[in-house]
Structure formats: structure tokens, C-alpha cells
Amino acid sequence: MSNAALNIGQTFETSTVRVHRYRTVLVVTDLTLAGKRGKKVRQATIQTTFAYKGDEMAWLDRMGAALIERAKDADADAYGAILAFPRDILVDYPGEISISEKELRGVDVEPACERISFEADNANGSIRVRISAHSFSVVRTVVHSGAKGSIKQDTLYSERKKADAVRFYRWAVENADIVRQATTIDHFTAAWRSLGVDFDSH
């Protein structure tokens, strides 16, 4: 298997398939019909079982890398090409891995798109930004210093409705350079208010 591991929390994506690594599972999503009403999207979850006696995290590292390589090489039906590999392993090692599949509504699955994702430090802490076609999130971290040391407090800002995310995404893509220069939450709240984008924070 390849050494290009997919780390926990990371996503690999092409125009037709998405692979996301959680701590103990890999999730593969067919993006062919993503975002479309009246259509179904295939999604598979891959993980080890209690019967597997090896290093689970190392196995997921190797499997994630292998899935990425197959996604890159696939000419058509990347989803099927990706799943063929763990299915072959399942034949040789029955009971040691689990592959479960389900169908999602196409309209509920974010299609492949350009994303804006970055982190920035500021005088009071930092911000973590993720903007995509269907959602956005900005996590503001404030560091409070006291006699017992420093305490970090996170506040998550996100869209109130899907339409708010779509409106902000269009603006953000057109103004990506400006967005990436933002270092505080005030930059984002000002932009949201000027665009009429409603947001929640907690």
C-alpha cells in the first residue's frame, strides 16, 4: 500500500468520490449524483472488527492511502473501484473488516467543490476557517491567562440556513484573497452582515 496516509479528520476528494478518515472508520461517498434532488448517493463505511488482531490505526492509515491511490487511478465509477480493494481483502480475511453501505438523498450530500480552509493566529488566540458550497464554520479560540495558567475557549460560528452558506460561499470564492487575510472573527461577522448572511454561534 502507498505511504500517503489519510490522517484523522482529513478528506481526499475528486470530482466523483470523497474519502474521509475518522478515528476508527473510513467513509467513502460517491459524488456522481451529489447535490441533486430526486437522486440517491451511495456511501460506504470501512473499519476493522473485534476479530482483527493487528494495529487498528496502522491498518486504517494503510487502507486510507490505498483508497486514495485507487481514486486517483479510476477512469470511471471511482466509488466502485475504491470498494473493490477492501472487498477483495474481506474475501481473504473474512470477519476481520466490516464494509457497510447505505444510500443518502442526493440533495443532502455536498457535491465536489472548491473549498477554502485555513487557520490564523491573532493577539487573543486563533481562528480556524472552513468554507464550502453548502456550509461554513469559523472556530474562534480565545486564550485566557490566569494564576493557574492558560485556558482556551472555543466558539463555533456557522450558517443558520443552507441558503446563507451558499450566499457566503459565492462571495468567498470571488474574494478568496481577502478571506485568507482575515485573522479575527470580526472580519467574518462584518462580511456576513454586509451580505445578509444569518449565522449562529455557540
Question: Of 88, 108, 128, which residue sits at a domain end?
Answer: 108
pLDDT tier at 80 (50, 70, 90 boundaries)? very high
Alpha helices in 74-107 (DSSP H): 78-92
Domain match, 15 and 100 both: yes
Domain match, 20 and 94 both: yes
Please check the confidence at residue 4 and state whether its pLDDT lies above 70: no
Closest CA to 140 of 106, 179, 182: 182
CB 110 within 8 A of CB 136: no
Whether 191 is in a domain gets the answer yes
Q: Which helix (H) or strand (E) holds 188?
A: helix 185-195
Domain match, 48 and 32 both: yes
Retrieve residue 29's grid coordinates. Answer: 461517498
pLDDT of residue 1: 41
Question: What span, in angstroms and rounded, lies between the C-alpha atoms of 34 and 108?
Answer: 8
Q: What are phi and psi of 127, to 5 degrees?
A: -135, 145
Domain match, 186 and 152 both: yes
Domain match, 75 and 146 both: no
pLDDT tier at 2 (50, 70, 90 boundaries)? very low
Question: Of 108, 124, 148, which residue sits at a domain end?
Answer: 108
pLDDT of residue 82: 93
Structurally, the chain folds into a number of domains equal to: 2
Domain match, 18 and 93 both: yes
Domain match, 135 and 86 both: no
pLDDT of residue 147: 77
Mean pLDDT throughout 196-201?
97
Whether 5 is in a domain gets the answer no
More confident residue, 194 or 2: 194
Range of the domain at 152: 116-201
Whether 6 is in a domain gets the answer no
Closest CA to 138 of 165, 110, 112: 165
- Interacting residues of 9 by C-beta distance below 8 A, sequence separation 6+: 21, 22
HSE (CB half, 13 Å, CA atoms) of 135? 13
pLDDT of residue 118: 92
What's the predicted TM-score (pTM) here? 0.64
Domain match, 91 and 122 both: no
Which DSSP string do the residues of 4-34 spell out, in sequence order?
Answer: ----TT-EEE-SSEEEEE-SS-EEEEE-TTT
Domain match, 123 and 196 both: yes
Whether 124 is in a domain gets the answer yes
Q: What are phi and psi of 86, to 5 degrees?
A: -65, -30
Q: What are phi and psi of 187, to 5 degrees?
A: -60, -40
Domain match, 81 and 143 both: no
Question: What DSSP state is assigned to residue 108?
Answer: G
pLDDT for 89-141, tens place per residue?
A: 999 999 999 999 999 999 888 888 778 999 999 998 999 999 988 889 999 99
Domain match, 80 and 134 both: no
Lateral strand order in the sheet of 149-159: 116-122, 125-131, 136-146, 149-159, 199-201
Question: What span, in angstroms and rounded, lies between the C-alpha atoms of 171 and 179?
Answer: 9
- Interacting residues of 76 by C-beta distance below 8 A, sequence separation 6+: none
Question: Of 52, 85, 108, which residue sits at a domain end?
Answer: 108
Domain match, 94 and 143 both: no
